[in-house]
């Protein structure tokens, strides 16, 4: 289970690490598109776009269907729930650390004020 999730997270984050692939996901969120349409939109070759779509497909974020000579892309069924949960865990960790840091800073400010009063 853990290995499967780690592999899935790795594939998702690797796919999302590229700006073009994130753009493809945004585009497909609006409407399905052929690889040719995506390649034109992103000003790249068909081969380049096929590679990007392949990475997204491997991560389960995109599905493709070939009808005749046209390969149509659409968002995959996979949602990013696991990825969002992983990110949220770290967001909570950092939020707690910053809250602790805020408390320490407030304590230091109060101590500094008290020390300033004592010197007068």
pLDDT digits (tens, 9 = 90+) for 87-113: 999 899 999 999 999 999 999 998 888
pLDDT digits (tens, 9 = 90+) for 19-55: 999 999 999 999 999 999 999 999 999 999 999 999 9
Secondary-structure class of domain 2-75 per CATH: mainly alpha
The overall pTM is greater than 0.85: no
What integer is the mean pLDDT of 12-25? 95
Boundaries of every domain in the chain: 2-75, 79-120
Q: For residue 21, with 0-12 CB atoms within 10 Å meaning exposed, 13-18 middle and 19 or more buried, which class applies?
A: buried
Q: Spell 68-98 as b/e; 16+ CB within 10 A means b.
A: eeebebebbeeebeebeebeeeeeeeeeeee
């Amino acid at each position: 289970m853990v290995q499967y999730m780690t592999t899935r997270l790795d594939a998702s984050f690797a796919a999302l690490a590229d700006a073009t692939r994130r753009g493809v996901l945004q585009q497909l969120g609006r409407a399905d598109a052929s690889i040719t349409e995506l390649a034109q939109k992103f000003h790249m070759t068909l081969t380049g776009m096929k590679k990007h779509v392949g990475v997204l497909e491997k991560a389960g974020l995109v599905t493709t269907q070939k009808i005749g000579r046209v390969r149509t892309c659409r968002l995959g069924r996979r949602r990013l729930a696991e990825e969002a949960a992983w990110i949220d865990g770290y967001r909570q960790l950092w939020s707690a650390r910053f809250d602790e840091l805020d408390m320490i800073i407030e304590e230091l400010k109060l101590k500094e004020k008290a020390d300033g009063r004592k010197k007068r």
